[in-house]
Amino acid sequence: MRLQKIILGIVFGFITVSFTCCHWNDSNFSKDNHLKTTPIKDSLYNETYLVCFRSLDIERYSQYITDSVNFRKYVCTHDFGEWLYGEIGENDVLTIYKVKGNLLSDKQVSFDTILLTTYHIDKLKKEGIFE
């Protein structure tokens, strides 16, 4: 009987931690787990943070763009099966797309590309916002 209570307590504790360790909406902006910083162009960087990891193999990442001096702008949070693609066009306009792969069959994958947003780098520098 006592052993059952201990096992039940451990299982309940594990389930509680699994479901409460990651609040999807609250943790999107967490910068506790920095994974990498990738150069984009001329002192412009992409910062990646792990904001959620669950025992169900669901990982969530938050992406920021920054010049490390004047601004840090939150771009989005995405799952493990998604990634971001950005292009810098004329007048330093950064266009960001989210790409998601969908498994159709054993041999076929489709990709959906969604335009997320565009940023004017000069405007971000002038605003000086750190998110």
pLDDT tens-place string over residues 22-73:
544 456 677 778 889 988 888 899 999 988 766 556 778 889 999 989 999 9
Contacts within 8 Å (CB) and 24+ apart, 50-53: 51/22, 51/27, 51/77, 52/22, 52/24, 52/27, 53/22
| CA atoms of 107 and 59, how far apart (whole Å) | 25
- Is 16 inside a domain boundary? no
Two structure tokens written together for 14 = 């594990």
- Is 99 inside a domain boundary? yes
Give the model confidence (pLDDT) of 70-79 as tens digits. 999 999 888 8
Residue 15 has pLDDT above 60, yes or no: no
- Is 8 inside a domain boundary? no
- Is 80 inside a domain boundary? yes
Q: Count of domains in the chain? A: 1
Domain range enclosing 29:
25-127
- Is 11 inside a domain boundary? no
| CA atoms of 88 and 102, how far apart (whole Å) | 27
List of residues 6+ apart from 49 with CB closer than 8 A: 30, 31, 32, 33, 34, 35, 61, 62, 63, 64
- Is 17 inside a domain boundary? no
pLDDT recorded at residue 4: 43
